[in-house]
């Protein structure tokens, strides 16, 4: 990004019309790489290496421990940085690691140098990237929409971590960010996509605070509150970051390309992120409505779905991850509504015949008239939740999930190890929706219930007598459908409320009271 600033200055002064910025490194293969130990004659070789530090994993422990002590930051909060970044990595086809992880996974991973576990550290890979910058006049000839550089900042504090002005703050971030915002003429409220260097889990915390998006010491809670996760208020490091994508040596180049994708509205085809242990900082602000000198030749992969931004009117639940364990109609139809509003819904079915709705009525391949409309837009997996292997897969799926829908009889999921207490213990912000016939407690709670049963139980069939005077079932799953709509309404309200709450909650929806309400409306 420093090269971007220098190239923009050169173009502005007429020294050139077009600049090509490239970077590549062989962090993993070590082809033509410089020796890892610092030169004895260098500043680090004289004043840091003799005291036992060896590379960024050990040097970065000095500031991060001071930061955690000063602001009372926990290891769990630090681990959440990696957890949220992995959610973005799952959307990046070029990321090295895409499987969801939990705070527990991070804290159980191998210790490198306290407090850093291996899942908090950047990867070491080969990588490279390129950018083209040109004048606004030349950009008008391009067939693809350019993005305009309107503000930049640059700063270098010190090549040695031990010489930082303040271990709880990066002067490089502060100086570069202040300059970039001033040049661009934008405020923090104008930014809806942020890319911050993140070689290790603590660096985004420094960036959010020193760039002014959070007060000092507040960034950890901001990320733990999932404000930077997919579909939330401030998408951060949407390529997946250094801990899941690749070595951050040329991370700035990739960050510029990702910002171009977001501002230009184009799809991203390939991503690779990269690393640098030097404590330097740079910043650039861009927006697509003013003069420009930036364009790239690569089409960009969409952040969500088919090029739609997170949480648009067309897909208000884009970025949400939903695990749907329910069967039949009521629970699955609620999950389908979430999917149709943009959520990523993963349907978990039992092995064998799967969801029992697949067996009702005439079959069309593996589906029936009941199972098709209730599962539109979902992805499906069959698991044996009584087996250890099936349980392990479900735990991986629930990692980072926003919503879990279940329709088992009360107590079944608890016996399988996936009750609300167990799941919320791992995913504290999850919304756990239970759909049942008669509720979770009470004399009828353990009885199975279906739409025809509730039509008879509530007396609805009395309102549907035939000419023979005999009550008949309403030829439509009206109780299941109305319950699904109430469940969707409850989840929508809870998702909105959770923007301002630190924890999720359990939501219970029952077929019996929903039908009673429907009957009162009819009368």
Residue 498 in 3-state DSSP?
A: helix
Reference 199, options 139, 127, 133; nearest CA is 127
Handedness of CA 373, 376, 378, 379 (dihedral sign): positive
Q: Which of 105, 210, 324, 480 is catalytic?
A: 480
What is d(CA 32, CA 6) in angstroms, rounded to the nearest whole number? 27
Distances in Å between the alpha carbon of 311 and those of 196, 308, 315, 342, 473?
22, 9, 6, 8, 40
Active site residue 480: yes
Phi and psi at 419, nearest 5°, equal -70, 175
Q: Is 352 left (phi over 0), alpha (psi -120 to 50) or beta?
A: left
Query: What whole-number distance in Å separates Cα of residue 412 and Cα of residue 389?
Result: 18
Q: What's the full length of the chain, in residues?
A: 523
Helix (H, G, I), strand (E, B), or coil: what is residue 291? Answer: coil
Task: Return the structure tokens found at 320.
Answer: 């949400």
Cβ neighbours of residue 213 closer than 8 Å, sequence gap 6 or more: 188, 191, 194, 219, 222, 234
Q: What contacts 315, CB < 8 A, 6 or more positions away?
A: 304, 305, 308, 341, 342
Instruction: List residues with catalytic annotation.
Output: 480
């Amino acid at each position: 990004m420093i090269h971007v600033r220098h190239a923009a200055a050169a173009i502005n002064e007429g020294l050139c019309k077009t600049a090509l910025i490239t970077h590549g490194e062989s962090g993993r293969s070590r082809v033509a790489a410089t020796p890892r130990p610092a030169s004895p004659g260098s500043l680090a070789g004289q004043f840091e290496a003799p005291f036992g530090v060896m590379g960024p994993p050990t040097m970065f422990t000095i500031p991060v421990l001071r930061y955690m002590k000063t602001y009372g930051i926990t290891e769990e909060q630090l681990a959440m940085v990696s957890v949220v970044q992995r959610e973005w990595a799952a959307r990046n086809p070029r990321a090295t690691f895409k499987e969801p992880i939990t705070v527990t996974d991070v804290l159980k991973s191998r210790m490198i140098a306290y407090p850093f576990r291996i899942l908090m550290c950047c990867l070491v890979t080969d990588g490279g990237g390129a950018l083209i910058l040109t004048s606004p006049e030349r950009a008008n000839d391009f067939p693809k929409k350019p993005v305009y550089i309107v503000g930049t900042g640059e700063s270098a504090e010190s090549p040695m971590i031990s010489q930082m002005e303040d271990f709880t703050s990066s002067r490089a971030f502060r100086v570069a960010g202040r300059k970039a915002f001033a040049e661009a003429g934008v405020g923090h409220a104008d930014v809806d996509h942020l890319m911050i260097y993140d070689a290790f889990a603590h660096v985004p915390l420094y960036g959010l605070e020193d760039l002014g998006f959070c007060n000092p010491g507040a960034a950890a809670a901001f990320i733990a509150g999932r404000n930077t996760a997919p579909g939330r208020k401030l998408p951060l490091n949407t390529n997946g970051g250094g801990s899941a994508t690749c070595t951050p040596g040329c991370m700035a180049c990739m960050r510029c390309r990702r910002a171009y994708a977001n501002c230009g509205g184009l799809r991203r085809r390939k991503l690779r992120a990269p690393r640098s242990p030097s404590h330097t900082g740079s910043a650039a602000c861009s927006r697509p409505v003013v003069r420009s000198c930036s364009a790239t030749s690569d089409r960009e992969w969409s952040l969500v779905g088919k090029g739609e931004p997170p949480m648009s009117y067309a897909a208000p639940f884009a970025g949400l991850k939903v695990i749907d364990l329910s069967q039949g109609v009521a629970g699955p139809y609620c999950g389908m509504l979430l999917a149709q509003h943009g959520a990523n819904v993963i349907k978990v079915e039992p092995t064998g015949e799967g969801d029992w709705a697949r067996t009702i009525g005439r079959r069309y391949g593996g589906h029936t008239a009941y199972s098709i409309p209730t599962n539109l837009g979902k992805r499906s997996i069959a698991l044996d939740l009584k087996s250890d292997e099936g349980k392990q897969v479900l735990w991986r799926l629930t990692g980072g999930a926003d919503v879990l829908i279940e329709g088992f009889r009360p107590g079944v999921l608890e016996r399988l190890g996936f009750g609300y207490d167990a799941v919320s213990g791992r995913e504290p912000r999850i919304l756990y929706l239970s759909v049942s016939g008669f509720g979770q407690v009470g004399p009828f709670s353990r009885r199975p219930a279906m739409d025809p049963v509730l039509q008879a139980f509530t007396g609805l069939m009395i309102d549907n007598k035939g000419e023979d005077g005999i009550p008949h079932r309403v030829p439509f799953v009206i109780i299941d459908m109305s319950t699904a709509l109430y469940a969707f309404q409850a989840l929508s309200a809870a998702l909105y409320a959770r923007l301002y709450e630190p924890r999720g909650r359990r939501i219970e929806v029952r077929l019996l009271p929903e039908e009673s309400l429907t009957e009162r409306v009819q009368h």
